[in-house]
Amino acid sequence: MKTIRGFVAALFLVLAAPMAAGPALAQQAPSAAPTGEPAETAPLAAPVTNVDTQNTGGAAISAHGISVVDMFWRADPLVKGVFGLLLLSSIWSWVIIINKGLALSTLNNRANRFEKTFWSGQSLDELYAQFAQRNNHPLAAVFVSGVREWRRAFEHGTPSLAILSGTKDRVEKAMSVTISREIDSVEKSIGFLATVASTAPFVGLFGTVWGIMNSFTAIAARHDTTLAVVAPGIAEALFATAMGLLCAIPAAIFYNRFVAEIGRYGNRLDAFSDELSGILSRQLDEKAR
């Protein structure tokens, strides 16, 4: 019995010892706690060097964008060929446009002066002598060809009634052939404008497709889809399309304009040919009587 009481007393002492030491330990301050003033955070310094972004070709792109010249020199050789072809086509188209515009204006002015002289009351022989050596425009050429054929009918004297109809047909045929030849001469070179107007957009589209292919190739090679990788190729592609349209639109506009003006001028030649044919036919009838 005494043994049991001693064992319980010893166990009670063991359990009571940590409970008495706990409040004392809780009242002690941690030895590692900071005792100085709190730390202050300083702002980060701005970078002092410029950060360059690179395109697919490795050249730096300025912050203000890509110029047309830089775009051309960084383009693929095939895209450069497309640019050069469209540029040459555009330059040659404008040369044709300016020359043809001046030529049609000159032809209309000369035709106005010729008609004013023709209806001034001079005889056919006087007019023929005046314009035979300087038929420098289609209206004068038609007049000279018709009167020349008419004069040939009187080389062997006054023609008989039997050959009057043949003479009239030859006069009309000579003027018709002259009109066709002169219209062909006036229409020279405008076919190039039609070709440029119809093919330049497709040439530009070919450059566009090739530029987009280069962009996807750059993405696959660098495993990156950022604008620095994609933008240069897309810009080259869209610039090729713009070049094609810039080349085709003026060519189409002026081609349609020139075709309309030449058509009106051809109608003017046909009307003058009919009038001259009527005058020459009356002259033949009067001299054959």
Interval 66-109: pLDDT, tens: 566 666 666 677 778 888 899 999 999 999 999 999 999 999 99
When pLDDT is averaged across residues 140-159 and rounded to a whole number, the result is 81
Query: Backbone dihedral region of 146: left (phi > 0), alpha (psi from -120 to 50 degrees) or beta?
Result: alpha
| Distance, C-alpha 175 to centroid of its chain | 41
Going by C-alpha positions, the residue among 146, 143, 154 that lies closest to residue 170 is 146
The Cα 150–Cα 156 span in angstroms is 12
Interval 265-280: pLDDT, tens: 999 999 999 999 888 8
The Cα 101–Cα 59 span in angstroms is 45
The Cα 176–Cα 212 span in angstroms is 54
φ and ψ at 54, to 5 degrees? -115, 145
pLDDT of residue 22: 44
The Cα 179–Cα 141 span in angstroms is 8
Q: Which of 122-126, 167-171, 258-262, 279-283 is modeled with the greatest confidence? A: 258-262
Q: Record the pTM.
A: 0.68
Residues in the chain: 289
φ and ψ at 191, to 5 degrees? -65, -30
13 membership: H or E segment, kind and range? helix 2-26
- Any idea what DSSP says for residue 66? -
Interval 243-261: pLDDT, tens: 899 999 999 999 999 999 9
The Cα 188–Cα 266 span in angstroms is 14
The Cα 50–Cα 196 span in angstroms is 46
When pLDDT is averaged across residues 175-191 and rounded to a whole number, the result is 91
Residue 215's pLDDT band (cuts 50, 70, 90):
confident
Q: Which residue has the higher pLDDT, 36 or 91?
A: 91
Residue in the structure block whose two tokens are 């050249």: 59
